[in-house]
Structure 1
Amino acid sequence: MITPESLIRKYNVPGPRYTSYPTVPYWHTERFDRHLWQQRLNTAFADSNYTDGISLYIHLPYCESLCTFCGCNKHITRNHAVETPYVDALLTEWEQYCDWFPERPRLAELHLGGGTPSFFSPHELHRLLAGILRWADPVDEPDFGWEGHPNNTTREHLQTLYDVGFRRVSFGVQDYDPVVQQAIHRPQPFANVEQVTRWAREIGYTSISHDLVFGLPFQRQESIIHTVLQTLRLSPDRISFYSYAHVPWIKGNGQRGFRDGDLPTADEKRALYETGRMRLEAAGYTEIGMDHFALPHDSLHKAAQAGTLHRNFMGYTTAKSKVLIGLGASAISDVGTAFGQNEKELARYLQRIRAEESPIFRGHLLSDDDQFIRYHILNIMCRFETTWTLADWSANDWLALSVRLETLRQDGLVEFDETGLRVLPQGRPFLRNIGMAFDRYLNQPVAETGRLFSQTV
């Protein structure tokens, strides 16, 4: 009988997280046509704006200090004079989109990510959002959320965003062990997290999330237990329990503040997750998709139970809009049949905005086959199952997929037949690997060199 340890050793390989399909390294950027991109955007907008609204992600890349576990696109500075020109650029980019749209956009979802959104002053955040809403109208029950750093989020930040419709906030905790915090350059006392959580509740936020990370340097069973118990004291509505993605080859991500030998082994890392998961579930949280937990009253839990959970570049979401617009440096837009990514380098992004150009520098136009595979991977990531008929597949494609799935079935991770696939409970830790069985790009050459993805476990 195959053991959990042997499964980890077998399936702990580099693989995508599938916030998109195809994944970014496999985009056919050389075939990307901005005119076709805009056509597909307008088609998707016309199909969904009135019925579902659109989603908007705004990337705020600035941080005052570098957290060495972070692989996000960020710019480290203590110069807050950068806030005003960056907000100006975001509003200019938004006006570009609104000029393209045939009618006024309706916002179903709005998320501020980073970087550190709370790097920006409440005044600049209010100016940003007032400018966004000048050109758009929220739907009746919008989902507006943002990410706050417990060390610099003020009550004014929380109140300002609440006043313009935000009801969801997530706070980055990572780990409460001082040794781990020092290794990742993220000193953060529990008192700060407790304070911002209390403020958010007093103001009226209905969904408060804490972000935890397992697999960090020097992290051991004792630190995970302590971190989870401290988190449970505050009873956040959601908890993101992320696997640390060790990707030191990404330029400028700063993940060389510790040695590889300081990291838990694959078996130890998975044990850290199981320890946290068991304690969260014992406290009433339900595991949602991959990396997420929620209490029964939270909208993420309700969406998972109703089968309406969705996944995009913002992660898991309750809003399944066909149009996701990304504003800011490195932000990605998704219109269902096409992806477009803004300039990643901050100076290049600002330069193109000032030149009144679109900041999109690469993208991918999805083929019918891309959309078909994307549909099944999305179902697996959100609902742990997907359905099909044999007529959906060519004989060769079905044979190739069956061979790959058979290995997963023999290992007790999935069950499948001619009507679909279901992820078994022991297969849930390996959702990325299951998605990889469907991925038709993984063995193709890419323009990027070197390693592409973090380990799946």
Structure 2
Amino acid sequence: MSQALIQKYNVAGPRYTSYPTVPYWDLETFSLEAWQTSLKRSFIESNAVEGVSLYIHLPFCESLCTFCGCHKRITKRHEVESPYIKALLKEWDLYCELLGQKPKIKELHLGGGTPTFFSPEHLHFLISELLNVAELAQGYEFSFEGHPNNTTETHLQTLYDLGFRRVSFGVQDYNNKVQIAIHRIQPFENVKQVTDLARKIGYTSVGHDIIFGLPFQSEADVIETISKTKALMPDRIAFYSYAHVPWIKGNGQRGFNDTDLPTADSKRKQYEIGKQYLETAGYIEIGMDHFALKTDSLYQAMKNETLHRNFMGYTASKTQAMIGLGVSSISDSWYGFAQNVKSIEAYYNLIEKNIIPVFKGHILNTEDLIIRKHILNLMCNFKTEWTNKDAIFNDLPEVLIKLKEFELDGLLQFGNKQVIVTEKGKPFIRNICMAFDVLLQRKKPETKLFSMTI
């Protein structure tokens, strides 16, 4: 890859799991009532047709991983499990009461934190109670994130019996020095054991998460990690860049010095050589950061142009409404976003008062909806197009000017009211989406809010 392009485009930028991005949410016009109205509208439009997605945030971890940017609570006290599940179920009841009819669940994902911090018995109770007041959509998919060190055969069997067929395990890197730096010690044998167990039980999609750009990580480490991963051939691989944002996440990302991180040039080489090894092993790049075997539903969704992206990442099916339960969870009605309070104590307090525990969000206007559609198209399909009805582009010549610059650099083909990202341009997809982000262009952040794009 051209060093000139890396230097030119290696800037801080969003990952676009939403548009507008969280720092540009309009908090002054947002209210719980406005959010509830937008969700009810979305639910009426989509529940009977496609169902809803449900994301459940389980925030507890027994130890702190210093690469992690998620909201979590570190504790070894497992008596926290029961009250948290009780609160989750009450929050779900509040949403079901608001919506007025049974939700039809198309997707359900357990994220964290560490979902397998919770006992199999508690997870069984949680999922069973959630499903008691819901229906299942045709072709539903349940998935969860498992920690290789504490995911047991009982965890896997219990969730399988409840309908889970997809699991992802966080690998990050197999080099011992890197693992010590990020405080995530897990040998290959642990990953192999849970991967083999999941397949033995019957899971149809097993994923591994690998990170590049970690402290002390080298290109040789990436090759070694992918070589070991190849021996297990997971169905999906998330191969993504470490997002170093300690100014946002505090001490959680300060288990090492900034000088211990690879340079931008080295980090880019880690990605390129990792991508090469993955493709040689038979994996196809899906959108941004993801790879899948041709037998996996994610590849089929990309091929059929039905790939979708939301706060849970890339999914093989689209739902208009996504409800997030638990601390810090983000919900999406397509017309609006809402995030729950981040403190467990504040979460409990609002739930006890029968209040949906939202503390901020954004209701999308006409301009937001148009731009969101284009960014989603680019992130999923590496192309987008518009008609004369998208009059926003007539009012935003700065977007067209920026796209022309990308075209001159060979990163996209632009013309006839469409944008098609070239192979050369795919690693710069975040930068290309930034050209559409008029909120970012109108008001540059005063402080650094995002990780570097390269």
TM score, norm. by length of structure 1:
0.97
Displacement of 1:241: 0.2
Partner of 2:242: 244
Answer whether contact 1:150 1:172 (CA < 8 A) is retained: yes
Partner of 1:202: 200
Partner of 1:53: 51
Q: C-alpha offsets along residues 97-135 of structure 1, whole Å, 9 cap, x if unaligned?
A: 000113111100000000000000001101110111011
Q: C-alpha offsets along residues 144-200 of structure 1, whole Å, 9 cap, x if unaligned?
A: 100000000000000010000000000000000001000100000000000000000
- CA separation of 1:251/1:433 partners in 2, compared to 1, >3 Å: closer, same or farther? same
Partner of 2:135: 137
For residues 292 and 186 of structure 1, the distance between their equivalents in structure 2, rounded to whole angstroms, comes to: 22
Say whether residues 1:110 and 2:108 are aligned partners.
Answer: yes
Partner of 1:193: 191
Partner of 1:456: 453
Match of 2:277 among 276, 279, 291: 279
For residues 90 and 60 of structure 1, the distance between their equivalents in structure 2, rounded to whole angstroms, comes to: 10
Q: Single out whichever of 354-363 and 166-175 deviates more from structure 2.
A: 354-363
Answer whether contact 1:219 1:264 (CA < 8 A) is retained: yes
- Give the unaligned 5+ runs of structure 2: none
Displacement of 1:396: 4.9
- Deviating 4+ runs (over 6 angstroms): none
> What secondary structure sits across from 1:274 in the alignment?
helix
> What secondary structure sits across from 1:29 in the alignment?
coil
> What secondary structure sits across from 2:226 in the alignment?
helix
For residues 394 and 278 of structure 1, the distance between their equivalents in structure 2, rounded to whole angstroms, comes to: 39
Displacement of 1:391: 4.7
- What letter corresponds to residue 131 of structure 1 in structure 2? E
- CA separation of 1:53/1:355 partners in 2, compared to 1, >3 Å: closer, same or farther? same
- What letter corresponds to residue 86 of structure 1 in structure 2? Y
Answer whether contact 2:95 2:356 (CA < 8 A) is retained: no
> What secondary structure sits across from 1:139 in the alignment?
strand
> What secondary structure sits across from 1:308 in the alignment?
coil
Partner of 2:428: 430
Say whether residues 1:148 and 2:146 are aligned partners.
Answer: yes
Partner of 1:372: 370
Q: C-alpha offsets along residues 205-238 of structure 1, whole Å, 9 cap, x if unaligned?
A: 0000000000000100111110000000001000
Partner of 1:70: 68
> What secondary structure sits across from 2:424 in the alignment?
helix
Give aligned pairs, total.
454
Answer whether contact 1:71 1:253 (CA < 8 A) is retained: no
> What secondary structure sits across from 2:285 in the alignment?
strand
For residues 394 and 15 of structure 1, the distance between their equivalents in structure 2, rounded to whole angstroms, comes to: 22
- What letter corresponds to residue 147 of structure 2 in structure 1? H
For residues 172 and 145 of structure 1, the distance between their equivalents in structure 2, rounded to whole angstroms, comes to: 14
Match of 1:4 among 2, 5, 10: 2
Partner of 2:399: 401
Match of 1:92 among 90, 93, 98: 90
Answer whether contact 1:72 1:253 (CA < 8 A) is retained: no
Answer whether contact 2:178 2:215 (CA < 8 A) is retained: yes
- CA separation of 1:319/1:281 partners in 2, compared to 1, >3 Å: closer, same or farther? same
For residues 36 and 361 of structure 1, the distance between their equivalents in structure 2, rounded to whole angstroms, comes to: 12
> What secondary structure sits across from 1:441 in the alignment?
helix
Answer whether contact 2:38 2:333 (CA < 8 A) is retained: yes
Match of 1:417 among 410, 415, 418: 415
Q: C-alpha offsets along residues 335-364 of structure 1, whole Å, 9 cap, x if unaligned?
A: 010111100122211221122211001110
Q: C-alpha offsets along residues 224-274 of structure 1, whole Å, 9 cap, x if unaligned?
A: 110000000001000000100000111445111111111110010010011
Partner of 1:19: 17
For residues 417 and 394 of structure 2, the distance between their equivalents in structure 1, rounded to whole angstroms, comes to: 17
Partner of 1:348: 346
> What secondary structure sits across from 2:131 in the alignment?
helix
Answer whether contact 2:69 2:249 (CA < 8 A) is retained: no
For residues 395 and 432 of structure 1, the distance between their equivalents in structure 2, rounded to whole angstroms, comes to: 20
> What secondary structure sits across from 1:426 in the alignment?
coil
Partner of 2:317: 319
Displacement of 1:401: 1.4
Matches within 5 A, 1:159-178: 159-178=157-176
Answer whether contact 1:143 1:319 (CA < 8 A) is retained: no
TM score, norm. by length of structure 2:
0.98
Answer whether contact 1:108 1:142 (CA < 8 A) is retained: yes
For residues 431 and 37 of structure 1, the distance between their equivalents in structure 2, rounded to whole angstroms, comes to: 30
Percent of counterpart pairs with the same letter? Answer: 57
For residues 34 and 219 of structure 2, the distance between their equivalents in structure 1, rounded to whole angstroms, comes to: 51
Displacement of 1:334: 0.2
